[in-house]
A = this chain, B = another copy of it.
Amino acid sequence: MIYEAPVKDMMFLLDDWIGIDQIAALPGYEHVDRDTCEFVLEEAGKFCSRELLPLNRTGDEHGAVFKDGAVMSPPGFREAYAKFCENGWPGLDADPEHGGQGLPRLLQFLIDEMLGSSNMSFKLYAELTHGAYHLMASEASEDIRTRYLPNMVAGSWSGTMCLTEPHSGTDLGLLNTKASRSEDGTYTLTGTKIFITSGDHDLTENILHLVLARLDDAPAGVRGISLFLVPRTLVNDDGSLGERNAVNTASIEHKMGIKGSATCVLNFDQATGYLVGAENRGLMAMFRMMNLERIAVGIQGLGVAEIAYQNALAYARERTQSKAPGPRPDPSKAADPIILQPDIQRKLLKIRAQVEGARAMAVFAGFQADVQARSVDPDAVEAATDFVALLTPLVKSYLSDLGVSSALEAQQVYGGHGYIREHGMEQLVRDARITPIYEGTNEVQAVDLVKRKLTLHEGRLVQRLFQRWKELFDAQATEDELDFVMAPAREALLRLRDLTGWMVERLADDEATALAAATDYQRLFALTAVACFWAEIVAAMAGREGAFFEAKRRIAGIFMQQVLPETVALAVQVRNTDKLSNAVPLLDEA
């Protein structure tokens, strides 16, 4: 497989659309400039292509192995992880106080895409540490922060998120891992957690589990959940490693994909834990972190879509089969490259239009996350908070679905050769397939979008986003040369506004109908949002000439012509959920 990080497109979005000056204007990011961004992205891209991509198939073929109670990562992962840490990648957006580089979260998201392209399994060992770091940095006591965070930033200690239990996945209110207060101010945890990514492995000296559990006297449901730090190996007061804690790996899962990543069943058997944040407030703390993780999971899907595109394009140029319609490049040959087949061209252009549009949505969300975290302007923070909250389910669901659909389409370009393991395309499908499932299934995202985000602050979140785009379209002259993008995007926005009104009404009168429509509505919203981001981009580069800008405009056109029309169908399906209830009793039949 080949992979070249799309640094040019990333730099275009940062520099020509978002504006690097806008990032540098945020407190703490004064040192961020064009050269820094480009250098960091180039280096990350090289690391991913040279070090991680070659291990991707090894990770799949060999898998993480569970033996004698411990997990071994696939061959080569230890060496690559050591280089990853040497180069400082674990601390990219970490606080300099803990040894981090203090770069924007947005850059981290772009690098997340590259990691997702080159090696999803490897990425997961680092990603959970990254999430745990940020959660602890914002919620843990100073003592914990001082003692643990520098080792996480250095990459020598890793992190996990222990939420799911056998009977408690989507509904965390059902969890029953127990925590008891000990006399020394620590806690004792007992219970079983499943689906714990990187729950055990051999890449780091220690593993820090962030565990949701219920105190003996906690209220039932989600308001009785607390968050604990439970290190695999206890840490002495001087920061050195002490005794092994009572956390054991019972098994690892045999999965469809991301086989190089260890997904563990962990048993906590009176393990020592430290409270993070306040008692009974653990779920809210976890959710603050999970929102950014959800964006990161969407970006994994984007990463897979990008590498699937690059390889399908390369294969289509190389593979000869049948004669192309129209003038043939070399009529003496028995067959032409399949890239000359119109259906292959349409497929590839369609993936590219979706990938570039999805990347824009992710970049916008990433920038707003930085504004939310750093700005001192309360209005800007409020706006950014609204944007991040609203876009989180859209980025998570749309980009993860795009990862799967693009991998499937790219696999199809290979014909029978795409079905055998050798070419790696089928691995992309299997790896990408987890992204619509974990960190809250895409259906859970849709419920979050519809039940929570649409009505939060009396609808302010959607109003703000719609207003942004209304201003964009109002500012366009009629009969504009950009109408081929502006007109369909504006029309889609109007459709989305109407339908949002319909959804909010249903939510009040007939919640079941609104919830039945939620997934289709979410996809329609995401497609419309991407169309509007394309419109922003095309407006931002209006009048600029050259091959790159011309290509962007044409790809924007492909999005409008070949992708956006799906919203017309989705709108009909959403409204038709009104009639769904009369068929529901059929599901009760034997």
The smallest C-beta distance from A509 to any residue of chain B, in angstroms, reads 12
Q: Give A330-352 as 1s and 0s: 1 = Cβ < 8 Å from B's Cβ atoms.
A: 00001100010111111111001
How many copies of this kind of chain does the complex include? Answer: 2
Taking CB as reference atom, which chain B residue is nearest A339?
B587
With beta carbons under 8 angstroms apart, the residue of B349, B441, B443, B582 that contacts A586 is B349
| With A170-B321, A511-B325: A408-B404 Cβ-Cβ less than 8 Å | yes
A515 x B429 contact (CB < 8 A): no
| With A348-B587, A580-B346, A589-B551: A434-B412 Cβ-Cβ less than 8 Å | no
With beta carbons under 8 angstroms apart, the residue of B170, B412, B547, B569 that contacts A415 is B170
With a cutoff of 8 Å between Cβ atoms, the chain B residues found around residue A561 in the complex are: 573, 576, 579-580
A554 x B430 contact (CB < 8 A): no
B412 x A515 contact (CB < 8 A): no
A558 x B572 contact (CB < 8 A): no
A349 x B587 contact (CB < 8 A): yes
Q: A191 in the interface, Cβ–Cβ < 8 Å?
A: no
Q: List 7 A-B contacts (CB under 8 A).
A: A168-B321, A342-B513, A349-B587, A426-B430, A555-B586, A557-B583, A561-B580
Range class of the A interface residue count: 35 or more
Q: A202 in the interface, Cβ–Cβ < 8 Å?
A: no
Q: Give A5-37 as 1s and 0s: 1 = Cβ < 8 Å from B's Cβ atoms.
A: 000000000000000000000000000000000
Q: A313 in the interface, Cβ–Cβ < 8 Å?
A: yes
B580 x A420 contact (CB < 8 A): no
A341 to B511, CA, bound (A): 11
With a cutoff of 8 Å between Cβ atoms, the chain B residues found around residue A253 in the complex are: 420
Q: Give A36-79 as 1s and 0s: 1 = Cβ < 8 Å from B's Cβ atoms.
A: 00000000000000000000000000000000000000000000
A580 x B254 contact (CB < 8 A): no
- With A342-B515, A565-B569 known, 16 other A-B pairs at CB within 8 A are A167-B320, A168-B321, A169-B321, A174-B334, A174-B335, A254-B420, A255-B419, A255-B426, A343-B447, A349-B580, A412-B436, A419-B433, A557-B583, A561-B573, A561-B576, A565-B568
Q: A146 in the interface, Cβ–Cβ < 8 Å?
A: no
Q: A256 in the interface, Cβ–Cβ < 8 Å?
A: yes
With beta carbons under 8 angstroms apart, the residue of B342, B412, B517, B577 that contacts A516 is B342
With beta carbons under 8 angstroms apart, the residue of B173, B263, B554 that contacts A583 is B554
A433 to B169, CA, bound (A): 28
| With A171-B335, A565-B572: A443-B412 Cβ-Cβ less than 8 Å | yes
B551 x A430 contact (CB < 8 A): no
Q: A378 in the interface, Cβ–Cβ < 8 Å?
A: no
Give A contacts to B, CB under 8 Å. 164, 167-171, 173-174, 195, 220, 253-257, 263, 313, 320-322, 325-326, 334-335, 339, 341-349, 352, 404, 408, 411-412, 415-416, 418-422, 426, 429-430, 433-434, 436-438, 441-443, 446-447, 511-513, 515-519, 547, 551, 554-555, 557-558, 561-562, 565-570, 572-573, 576-577, 579-580, 582-584, 586-587, 589
Taking CB as reference atom, which chain B residue is nearest A414?
B437
A408 to B517, CA, bound (A): 19
With a cutoff of 8 Å between Cβ atoms, the chain B residues found around residue A572 in the complex are: 565, 568
B576 x A562 contact (CB < 8 A): yes
B576 x A565 contact (CB < 8 A): yes
A218 to B181, CA, bound (A): 86
A346 x B416 contact (CB < 8 A): no
A586 to B469, CA, bound (A): 28
A583 x B404 contact (CB < 8 A): no
With a cutoff of 8 Å between Cβ atoms, the chain B residues found around residue A438 in the complex are: 416, 419
The smallest C-beta distance from A502 to any residue of chain B, in angstroms, reads 15
The smallest C-beta distance from A546 to any residue of chain B, in angstroms, reads 13
A437 x B419 contact (CB < 8 A): yes
With beta carbons under 8 angstroms apart, the residue of B430, B518, B562, B583 that contacts A343 is B518
Taking CB as reference atom, which chain B residue is nearest A166?
B417
B416 x A437 contact (CB < 8 A): yes
With beta carbons under 8 angstroms apart, the residue of B320, B434, B512, B569 that contacts A566 is B569
With a cutoff of 8 Å between Cβ atoms, the chain B residues found around residue A263 in the complex are: 420
A341 x B412 contact (CB < 8 A): no
With beta carbons under 8 angstroms apart, the residue of B171, B339, B342, B419 that contacts A256 is B419
The smallest C-beta distance from A17 to any residue of chain B, in angstroms, reads 19
With a cutoff of 8 Å between Cβ atoms, the chain B residues found around residue A422 in the complex are: 254
B420 x A429 contact (CB < 8 A): no
With beta carbons under 8 angstroms apart, the residue of B220, B415, B579, B587 that contacts A169 is B415
The smallest C-beta distance from A132 to any residue of chain B, in angstroms, reads 20
B551 x A343 contact (CB < 8 A): no
B420 x A437 contact (CB < 8 A): no
B587 x A345 contact (CB < 8 A): yes
With beta carbons under 8 angstroms apart, the residue of B256, B339, B555, B573 that contacts A429 is B256
The smallest C-beta distance from A98 to any residue of chain B, in angstroms, reads 32
Instruction: Identify the interface centre among A320, A346, A511, A555: most chain B CB within 10 Å of its CB.
Output: A346
